[in-house]
Amino acid sequence: MRQHQIPGPTPWSLEVDDMVLQLDATAEARATRLHRDSIIIDTLSGGPSLYTGRMTQQTLENLATGKSAIEAVVTARDLLLNEIVSDPAVQRQYLAAWDDAGVTCVSATQGGLGIPPFSFESSLHAIAHTTRLVDALPDHLVKVTRAEDIRRAKKEGRHGILMNFQNTAHLGTNLKILDLFYNLGIRVIQLTYNMRNFAGDGCTERTDAGLSHFGVALVRRMNEMGILVDLSHCGTQTAWDAVRASTKPVAFTHTFSKVLSKHDRGKTDDLLKAVADTGGYVGVLVVPFFISDRPDVTLDAAVDHVRHVVDVCGIDHVGVGTDWGAVFPRELGDKMNQE
């Protein structure tokens, strides 16, 4: 199993200038127009990643006093929210990042990821955080709970935030909790995050046992409620079981081709095709150390994965779920790797 290294600033060697130079004025204008006029959705992204001076100072102080990486992240996230709401300069920077990206909607993870830091309390805290952000910037942001909200955001020049969970550990085995989170706005839930939970095995677990009885019941209840079943971090058998158990389309919101890169997070062609055959969706991520073994990864590698997945699934089933794009102090990345 390959070690999972958490990056700081994403180490792309961008070759965008070379690609732009290959476009004549007409083609470049067409590409710009398509991007401007289309609804652009990133199916796994937290939105703009800012780290102010105060956030950096607080993060380093927290790490120096023995706090965990997740505690440092939560503190920094809360500090950023307060700065966006109260500091006009930070707010302008945050909104400019949205506009520069040209993204209509992102699917943002609420709460922790792995089992130890993921709790009922942290998930509620994160949803409250996102709700406060949207409420503070009603002229710019929309909390997305249905497809029409995304269309409305595009029409009104705003940006949508679709809330997701990347684990179900906080549910225990209580399906009734789904009603609470649905009413709070959760519309996408990943069944497992790398390791085993009550629903099934993740993609880095020692075994690959598939969905549990609870996991099957969870998939069926999510189908009934209209919550998208996300299989991105699920083990192979867990994903196959979910494809077969689901009566609705399922998704890999952020993954890549295992044919092109052998990392544990990748998916085989037959599994990608099976998800597409449900009427589902595959979002291709752009994390450098996932999509290539090369130390000098460029955007060409991401494009190769998109092309391959389109060939396997058909273009109507493929999009982009960038996944990692965060900027934070190197010390925090080191702490995440240690934990």
Spans of all domains in the chain: 16-26+39-338
Amino acid at 162: L
Spatial CB neighbours of 164, under 8 Å, sequence gap ≥ 6: 44, 107, 108, 109, 110, 186, 187, 188, 189, 190, 230, 253
pLDDT of res. 37: 95
200: nearest Cα among 247, 233, 249: 233
pLDDT of res. 245: 99
pLDDT of res. 14: 36
The reported pTM is 0.89
pLDDT of res. 160: 98
Per the CB < 8 A criterion, the answer to whether 163 and 143 are in contact is: yes
CATH architecture of 16-26+39-338: Alpha-Beta Barrel (3.20)
Instruction: Walk along the chain (339 residues) and give the pLDDT tens digit of each residue.
Output: 333 333 333 333 334 444 444 778 999 899 999 999 999 999 999 888 888 889 999 999 999 999 988 888 888 889 999 999 999 999 999 999 999 999 999 999 998 665 555 688 889 999 999 999 999 999 999 999 999 999 999 999 999 999 999 999 889 899 999 999 999 999 999 999 999 999 999 999 999 999 999 999 999 999 999 999 999 999 999 999 999 999 999 999 999 999 999 999 999 999 999 999 999 999 999 999 899 999 899 999 999 999 999 999 999 999 999 997 677 888 988 887 777
User: How many CA atoms are closer than 13 Å to the CA of 139, on its beta-carbon side?
Assistant: 2
229: nearest Cα among 269, 274, 264, 261: 274
pLDDT of res. 15: 42
Beta bridge partners of 162: 107, 144
